[in-house]
Amino acid sequence: MVSERPGTDSAPEPVPGEFHEALRLAIAHRGLSLARLRAHLAQRGVHIGQSTLSYWQRGIRQPEMPRGLDTVRALESVLELRPGSLVTLIGPRQPAARAHRMPTSFADLRRGTSGPAADRLLTELGGYASASRYNADFEPLSVHDVVTFDAAHRQRSIRTRLVARARRHGPDRYVIVYNGDPGCRIEEVTLATAEGCRVGRMRRHAGEDTLAAELLFDRRLAEGAIHVFCFEVRDDSGGTSPGYFRMFRDRCAGYLLQLRFSRRALPARCTRQFRTREDMLPTDTDDLPCDIGAVSSAYFNDIGPGLAGVAVEWH
């Protein structure tokens, strides 16, 4: 449990910059868990989901104005900040248009399938010097992810069907990197395959949340050959899931993401999002319905590089 720090020292005033950065620093300075922060807000008559607070401090979403004004002012009070110091950092809502600067390379993207843990695992597999080089021999044409959640709001599995074209003659395997939800036990994660591939070498370290594995084909692909393969990651060891995002290093013609929920635990809100970097606000957002079959679907046409997915808020 994270204990609260004595209130003898006030939190430093957030410097001009991003709202989520200032909020995250102020929460850390006060030594509050999100659960305790939510409880303090409730005492002031402000009720907000813990997942929403998490999205705000991570930059996945920001408060909608003017509806969220009272909540942000209550946050300033709880975090002992000067009145208005957080409110002034909330900019106008981002338009849905795609008029934004795209990163120049995969190395410009932060976290997702990149990062020190992924780089180390890829090096252990051999032949992959960094996350910017693996799967470079493939052009992604279509990806279909089906993510299943249980009644405890945990992610249980991710089933993927991928269509890729070989950029040169010779590739005979595809590398995946999986990042579990917070609290996951990576040593318990399993990987299964269907048509088009089989599991090869796998690397992971206990206590971390990242796994890297090879999917082996039954032949070397000719240049221009199109290959269809399916696999499934099974992991129910994490905590409450914030949703699912896939990182694209290159442009992809089509990405379909479907979230399947337990009828006993439907989400409060699902939001389709695209971000050029994990530490940037979404440039493309839409609220999604959860249909009669307890499924929420998001389709992305001609996307990447960047992160595409669905953020989930729970009741």
- For residue 307, the number of C-alpha atoms closer than 13 Å in the C-beta half-sphere is 22
In CATH, what number does 106-314 get?
2.60.40
The CATH number of domain 19-89, selected from 2.60.40, 1.10.1060, 4.10.940, 1.10.260: 1.10.260
The percentage of residues in the chain with a pLDDT greater than 70, rounded to a whole number, is: 82
Q: Where exactly does CATH 2.60.40 map onto the chain?
A: 106-314
Per-residue confidence (pLDDT) for residue 172, from 0 to 100? 94
Interacting residues of 237 by C-beta distance below 8 A, sequence separation 6+: 180, 183, 184, 185, 188, 189
155, pLDDT greater than 70: yes
Q: Which residues pair with 165 in a beta bridge?
A: 139, 226
The percentage of residues in the chain with a pLDDT greater than 90, rounded to a whole number, is: 42
pTM of the model: 0.66
Per-residue confidence (pLDDT) for residue 127, from 0 to 100? 59
Rounded to 10 deg, the angle between the 19-30 and 50-58 helix axes is 120
Per-residue confidence (pLDDT) for residue 133, from 0 to 100? 64
51, pLDDT greater than 50: yes
- For residue 242, the number of C-alpha atoms closer than 13 Å in the C-beta half-sphere is 20
Per-residue confidence (pLDDT) for residue 91, from 0 to 100? 61
Q: pLDDT (tens digit, 9 = 90+) per residue, 78-136? A: 998 888 888 888 865 443 333 333 332 223 233 334 455 667 777 777 655 444 567 88
Q: Where exactly does CATH 1.10.260 map onto the chain?
A: 19-89
Per-residue confidence (pLDDT) for residue 103, from 0 to 100? 32
Q: How confident is the model at residue 260 (pLDDT cuts 50, 70, 90)?
A: very high
End-to-end CA distance of the chain: 23
Q: Span 195-204, mean pLDDT?
A: 93
How wide is the angle at C-alpha 81 spanned by C-alphas 63 and 311, nearest 5°? 25
How wide is the angle at C-alpha 74 spanned by C-alphas 73 and 78, nearest 5°? 120
Interacting residues of 101 by C-beta distance below 8 A, sequence separation 6+: 276
How wide is the angle at C-alpha 117 spanned by C-alphas 116 and 122, nearest 5°? 95
Token output for 279: 């530490």
